[in-house]
Structure 1
Amino acid sequence: MQLVKWSYMRRYNIRAIFDQFPNSPVIFRKIRDYYFVYTVHWTAADAPIGIKELEEMEQLLNRELGTELQYLYRKMSYSS
């Protein structure tokens, strides 16, 4: 999966489009120092989006924005 494009929205949200789900924009919100999926505007033109895809989307966006380390540290401390 690849991040096709992203843009800032109001109230610190980010709207992103991914190549596997081009018709379903994903809205991210910032929490602490990283971004997480807030909502997906899913359309029937795309396949259903699973949890693994959502996690991959989070990692791709955080990598693009330079917050991947904070995101990964959150994942490590959450699983402990």
Structure 2
Amino acid sequence: MKLMQWAYTRKYQVKAVFDDFPETVFLFRRIGEYYFLFSSRGGEYGRLPERHDYAVMEELVNGELGTLHQYRNRRSARSLGVS
């Protein structure tokens, strides 16, 4: 999956489009020092994203915005042993 485009929308929010889901716009909100998927719109006719897709999207957005280190060190990832 690749991040096709992204843009800031409002304070602490980013909208993004990915190549696997080109008809869907995903909205990310800033939580602490990283961005987390908040909602999506569009894409009624395409394949629905799964939990793994959401994690990949969050990593791509955080990597693009320079917050990947904070995303990987979040409390929930540490407690689950996810890296």
**TM-score normalised by structure 2 residue count:** 0.88
Structure 2: distance between partners of 1:11 and 1:63:
19
TM-score normalised by structure 1 residue count: 0.91
Name the count of aligned residue pairs.
80
Structure 1 gaps, min length 5: none
Residues 1-80 of structure 1: matches in 2 within 5 Å? 1-74=1-74, 75-79=76-80
**How much is the aligned-residue C-alpha RMSD, in angstroms?**
1.3
Structure 1 runs (4+) deviating above 3 angstroms are none
Tell me the CA shift for residue 44 of structure 1: 2.0
Q: Deviations over 1:20-56 (max 9, x none)?
A: 0000000000001000000011422321111100010
- Matches of 2:34 and 2:17 in 1, distance apart? 18
CA distance, structure 1, for counterparts of residue 44 and residue 77 of structure 2: 34
How high is the sequence identity, in percent, across the aligned residues? 35
Provide the secondary structure at the position in 1 that maps to 2:73: helix
Secondary structure of 1:46's counterpart equals coil
